[in-house]
A and B are shown apart, each in its own frame.
Chain A
Amino acid sequence: MNDDIHDWVMDMFREMLANDQREMAYKIEAFNSAAFASDMEAVEASFPELLAYARSNENAWLEIFLRHWRLQAYLGTPNDPRPLVTEALDLVAFAHKDNTMDCPQRICAIDDLNGIYGSIDAAGYAGERLEMLNEVLATTPNMRECYSCLTFGKIGVLLDLGRAEEAVDVFDTAVREAPAVGSSVRGKYYYRSLAEYVARAYIETNRTDDALKLLAKCEPPKPYTQTEVDLLFVMAYLQKGDKKSAHDAFQRVSSIKEIDNIYLKRLVEVIPLATDAKLIDVDDELVQRLLALAEGASTRGRSGEAFDCAHLVVSLSRKLNNEDAATKAIMIMEESLPSLNRQDSAKKTLSATRQTAL
């Protein structure tokens, strides 16, 4: 049995070439590259054909590989994650059939589900996500690559639950005990996860120097992820009291105007710190920009981010006495509420926000 799905795919690729199935082999290779780059046009162009190929050959492993990477490609875009739920659940069910029990990517289907619910309402679904990941990690050998993937996922969930100390412990233990995690930390592939989860956990636990060291080593595999890294730099430098470096890092963030919804969660954390440190002025332009981002997130089904961003807009609007912006932001919070899993806390937040803002 092959423990590594990528090795397995490469073996299949070579076998297909040897069996004169060159065209389909190259299409699978191109699909893989496109999915990794979240090039959805290329992914959607080839996915149906490859899936039909996998099904007609009753190649369940290939089917899981294709469906998993399509979901991952989609999750790398700022698009609406809600339509993915049916497909992700169907994939998990498919991946738990008898003929797929040995497929190493069976576990990855669960990580897809984690990613989708994390995109819809990260904090709201954190409990279920943690339970799900804990169960899978308990039965996954730690030398597998997917163990490190799930570990980073778990660190992210712990952060969503506000359990940063635990997140750092999980990371330290995993690096110490799991060879796959150790090698992944060194590999470029996981740097985005590192930047997003581990550095964030270090900042939360006041291990600022460790966070800065980690961020300095980050070589994001895709240019756009540099923004994520820079936002974390801002947080770390401000925590360290190095306002000059924080300012420089904030300048590197391409421009709040161009920032994408994909960084919204981090941006919502950074903006209050940046305004307190006077790295950016609280003005109508900033409020309108954040309002637009909140609207965008709401339209794209990223209800948790939309709710939190709109909440921030309300607090900034109060400083400017901008009642119009506050009203619009509260409407976004109301629209997002039904899709949130953290109903009780969100209702309380909304009610308190209404009282103070209007």
Chain B
Amino acid sequence: MSTPQFKNTSVDLSGLLKVLSENLYSQSEVAIRELVQNASDAIGRRRLQSSDEFSPRIDVSIDSSEKTLTIVDNGSGLTADEIEQFLARIGSGFTRTIKTPENDFIGAFGLGFLTAYMIGKRVVMETTSVNNPAVGSCFVSDNGERYIVSQTEPGPIGSRVTVHMKNSHENLSDFDEMEGVLSRYCRLMIAPIHLQENDEPINIAPPWRVERDDEPLIRRQDRRKEFAELMESRFEPLCTIPISSDDDNRGAGLMWIHNSSTFGGADNRWMQIYVRGMMVCQNKHEFLPSWAGFVSGVYESRVLSPTASREDLQTDDEYFDAQEHVADNLIKGLAEIARTQPETWRTILRRHNDALLGAAIADPALYEVLKDDLQLPTTEGDLTLEDIHARSPNGFTVTTHTDGGADEVVARAFGTPVILGYRYGAAAMLQRYAEETGTDIIELGTSEGHTRLFPSQTVSGETQALLSDIFGETGATLRYAKFEPDYLSVIALVDKEQQLKAFYESDDADRDMNAGVLRLARAFTKKIDPESPVQLVLNLGSPLMQLLIARGDNKAKSAAQIMLASARMLGTRKALGADGFIGAMQTFNAHLMTLLGDADE
């Protein structure tokens, strides 16, 4: 038996190029970005390798008649050996060998130059190295599979790459198209990039690179706003929040708040990510906290790692650190605006109150910033939590139902603002504030809420018997309480658990419901003491109730039925349904007529 031997794997170069060019990158225009980035890295290398003074410059030109794209840089250039070593060997990037966190090199994979073959049928590079300025080299390759390197007369130090475009990519030799691509990907690069020899470079200097601490704040704010307006395409920026850090390894950038009204839960986040000046993600919205639906921004980092295609980021520790950095800056920025720009802060609150409510619930740090300023919807209009707190001596009152019952009438009569818990974020925000301040919450429509609003009174057996006689067979449980306002003499309330008990233990449930469900339901409902689902709370503090007790005659009984009917209509309309409501109306009318008849007599 022969000994197994290691053999070299072989590469189908044309197949590999096809895969790289067709599958690694989603759009052919990224070839332009890659070539400009190579030029930018070459300039960085020249700074590193040589002490000569030079003004960095990249020129991009297109010739629509010749269908060529030319990129010229005055970077380090390449020697013939370097061409062999790095240009003609896939995956062997020059930049990777010298890249450190301190410099601004972008390349890492040695794949960028290949993208030229996505758009070009022939690629020519004429180059003169800073390390050997007396000799020039020329690299020519058709489709990337074969190439020629020849010695030429030396040119200026740097490289000139000419791409002869494929017919399918002729659109890239259009000026507007090229300007759009360069603006999109390269405008934050540091080396000036000139299109068609225009004196004005396409680059812009982002605020975080040019701001000085000794500049007036207003100047810095104007510059930030100007930058935000330039970058934002969907919303007018209302104000800006810088992203900064004392740590050089953390990124910098700018965020802005949208000057358009949003609703709670709306997600209009937009975040563009640059790595060392090159745009990597057109919109990485998840880089912003999930609650920041009203924020856009631009973030530039030296340490984030792009994926091989450089169209996304690797989700590594640096990524999560940067996300946290952005969130911290956003919260600090909002706090700063609240403190120093009251007018702007009021506008933010007006525009995004609901969204901020949701945000405050989601983030404890943001809650601290917002809790004093956000407004909650109440029966008395929108009020801050502090205002509501001051006007709610017995605890916060909240309703989660749009059809307020008798208990809401009581709460209103006290002059207590009832928080409309059915509006976005209101109940959840209130819950957090109540926990923090140790304040009770009285939830209308619940047993606990009823107990708080209508404190029970002990009544003698004699009075109980009298009241039972006056009110007759009500089909409801009578409760005795004393509460303000005293013009409410009877309140009808529905007990949810009793309602459930009545339903699940009824014959109807036997007929309609799954037997397994009934077993589980009845295991629960058997623990509930049987009472009527409707409770009638008699207000013993009411003068009318006292009069009924004092009279105890037929007139009192008729009046009691009228009071009951009106209480049912007021408090349990939904629970009674249409038939019950009509029944209560009929009772109301019939007893009123009896009373009037008695009066005639």
Is A26 at the interface (CB under 8 A from chain B)? yes
Given A89-B500, A125-B520, A128-B520, A55-B402 contact (CB < 8 Å): yes
The answer to whether B520 touches A132, judged by C-beta atoms less than 8 angstroms apart, is yes
Is A108 at the interface (CB under 8 A from chain B)? no
Given A113-B517, A128-B523, A130-B516, A93-B264 contact (CB < 8 Å): no
The answer to whether A48 touches B421, judged by C-beta atoms less than 8 angstroms apart, is yes
Contacts of A136 in B (CB 8 A): 514
The answer to whether A44 touches B514, judged by C-beta atoms less than 8 angstroms apart, is no
Q: How far is the CA of A318 from the CA of B346 in the complex (A)?
A: 64
Is A163 at the interface (CB under 8 A from chain B)? no
Q: How far is the CA of A125 from the CA of B362 in the complex (A)?
A: 35
The answer to whether B517 touches A132, judged by C-beta atoms less than 8 angstroms apart, is yes
The answer to whether A49 touches B497, judged by C-beta atoms less than 8 angstroms apart, is no
B247-255, B422-430, B534-542 - interface stretch: B422-430
Q: How far is the CA of A96 from the CA of B506 in the complex (A)?
A: 14
Top 7 nearest A-B pairs (CB, nearest first) are A132-B516, A131-B516, A52-B422, A30-B265, A45-B425, A48-B422, A23-B263
Contacts of B497 in A (CB 8 A): 86
Contacts of B503 in A (CB 8 A): 93
The answer to whether A45 touches B496, judged by C-beta atoms less than 8 angstroms apart, is no
Of all chain B residues, the one with the shortest Cβ separation from A109 is: B517
Contacts of A26 in B (CB 8 A): 263, 265-267
The answer to whether A31 touches B265, judged by C-beta atoms less than 8 angstroms apart, is yes
The answer to whether A128 touches B519, judged by C-beta atoms less than 8 angstroms apart, is yes
Q: How far is the CA of A89 from the CA of B516 in the complex (A)?
A: 12
> Which B65-113 residues have C-beta < 8 A from chain A?
none
> Which B108-167 residues have C-beta < 8 A from chain A?
none
Is B390 at the interface (CB under 8 A from chain A)? no
Interface residues of A (CB under 8 A from B): 23, 26-27, 30-31, 34, 39, 41-42, 44-46, 48-49, 51-52, 55-56, 85-86, 89-90, 92-93, 96, 110, 113, 117, 125, 128-136, 341
Contacts of A34 in B (CB 8 A): 265
CB distance from A264 to the nearest CB of B (A): 23
Q: How far is the CA of A135 from the CA of B524 in the complex (A)?
A: 20
The answer to whether B267 touches A44, judged by C-beta atoms less than 8 angstroms apart, is no
Is B504 at the interface (CB under 8 A from chain A)? yes
Among B421, B519, B520, B524, find the residue whose CB has the most chain A CB atoms closer than 10 A.
B520
The answer to whether A45 touches B517, judged by C-beta atoms less than 8 angstroms apart, is no
Contacts of B263 in A (CB 8 A): 23, 26-27
The answer to whether B400 touches A48, judged by C-beta atoms less than 8 angstroms apart, is yes
> Given A31-B265, A113-B520, 13 other A-B contacts at CB below 8 A?
A26-B266, A26-B267, A27-B264, A27-B265, A42-B290, A42-B358, A45-B429, A52-B402, A93-B509, A110-B514, A128-B519, A132-B516, A132-B520
Given A26-B263, A48-B423, A86-B500, A41-B402 contact (CB < 8 Å): no
Q: How far is the CA of A27 from the CA of B425 in the complex (A)?
A: 12
Q: How far is the CA of A134 from the CA of B265 in the complex (A)?
A: 39
Given A44-B427, A52-B401, A96-B513 contact (CB < 8 Å): yes
Q: How far is the CA of A41 from the CA of B357 in the complex (A)?
A: 11
The answer to whether A46 touches B264, judged by C-beta atoms less than 8 angstroms apart, is yes
Of the residues A41, A55, A89, A117, contact of B361 by C-beta under 8 Å: A41
CB distance from A74 to the nearest CB of B (A): 14
> Which B261-309 residues have C-beta < 8 A from chain A?
263-267, 290
The answer to whether A46 touches B422, judged by C-beta atoms less than 8 angstroms apart, is no
Contacts of B520 in A (CB 8 A): 113, 117, 125, 128-129, 132
> Which B393-424 residues have C-beta < 8 A from chain A?
400-402, 421-424
A-B contact count (CB 8 A): 112
Is B215 at the interface (CB under 8 A from chain A)? no
Is B16 at the interface (CB under 8 A from chain A)? no
Q: How far is the CA of A117 from the CA of B401 in the complex (A)?
A: 28
Q: How far is the CA of A136 from the CA of B524 in the complex (A)?
A: 20
Contacts of B427 in A (CB 8 A): 44, 48
CB distance from A353 to the nearest CB of B (A): 26
The answer to whether B362 touches A42, judged by C-beta atoms less than 8 angstroms apart, is yes
CB distance from A65 to the nearest CB of B (A): 16
Q: How far is the CA of A48 from the CA of B422 in the complex (A)?
A: 4
Q: How far is the CA of A130 from the CA of B422 in the complex (A)?
A: 36
Contacts of A45 in B (CB 8 A): 264-265, 357-358, 361-362, 424-425, 428-429
Contacts of B423 in A (CB 8 A): 48-49, 52
Of the residues B267, B400, B424, B523, contact of A46 by C-beta under 8 Å: B424
The answer to whether A131 touches B500, judged by C-beta atoms less than 8 angstroms apart, is no
Q: How far is the CA of A39 from the CA of B504 in the complex (A)?
A: 32
16 contacts between A and B (CB under 8 A): A26-B266, A42-B265, A45-B265, A45-B358, A45-B361, A45-B362, A45-B428, A48-B421, A48-B422, A86-B500, A89-B504, A90-B496, A90-B500, A93-B500, A93-B509, A134-B516
Contacts of B525 in A (CB 8 A): 89
The answer to whether A128 touches B358, judged by C-beta atoms less than 8 angstroms apart, is no
Q: How far is the CA of A295 from the CA of B439 in the complex (A)?
A: 28
Q: How far is the CA of A31 from the CA of B267 in the complex (A)?
A: 12
Of all chain A residues, the one with the shortest Cβ separation from B262 is: A23
Is B515 at the interface (CB under 8 A from chain A)? yes
The answer to whether B265 touches A46, judged by C-beta atoms less than 8 angstroms apart, is yes
The answer to whether A131 touches B422, judged by C-beta atoms less than 8 angstroms apart, is no
Contacts of A31 in B (CB 8 A): 265
Of all chain B residues, the one with the shortest Cβ separation from A134 is: B516
CB distance from B494 to the nearest CB of A (A): 12
Contacts of B523 in A (CB 8 A): 128, 341
Among A49, A52, A136, find the residue whose CB has the most chain B CB atoms closer than 10 A.
A49
CB distance from B427 to the nearest CB of A (A): 5
Contacts of A93 in B (CB 8 A): 500, 503-504, 509
Given A45-B424, A45-B428, A48-B400, A131-B265 contact (CB < 8 Å): no
Contacts of A85 in B (CB 8 A): 524
Contacts of A39 in B (CB 8 A): 290
The answer to whether B265 touches A132, judged by C-beta atoms less than 8 angstroms apart, is no
Q: How far is the CA of A44 from the CA of B266 in the complex (A)?
A: 15
The answer to whether A135 touches B514, judged by C-beta atoms less than 8 angstroms apart, is yes
Q: How far is the CA of A234 from the CA of B524 in the complex (A)?
A: 38
Of all chain A residues, the one with the shortest Cβ separation from B427 is: A48
Given A26-B263, A30-B267, A42-B362, A96-B512 contact (CB < 8 Å): yes
Q: How far is the CA of A42 from the CA of B264 in the complex (A)?
A: 10
The answer to whether A56 touches B516, judged by C-beta atoms less than 8 angstroms apart, is no
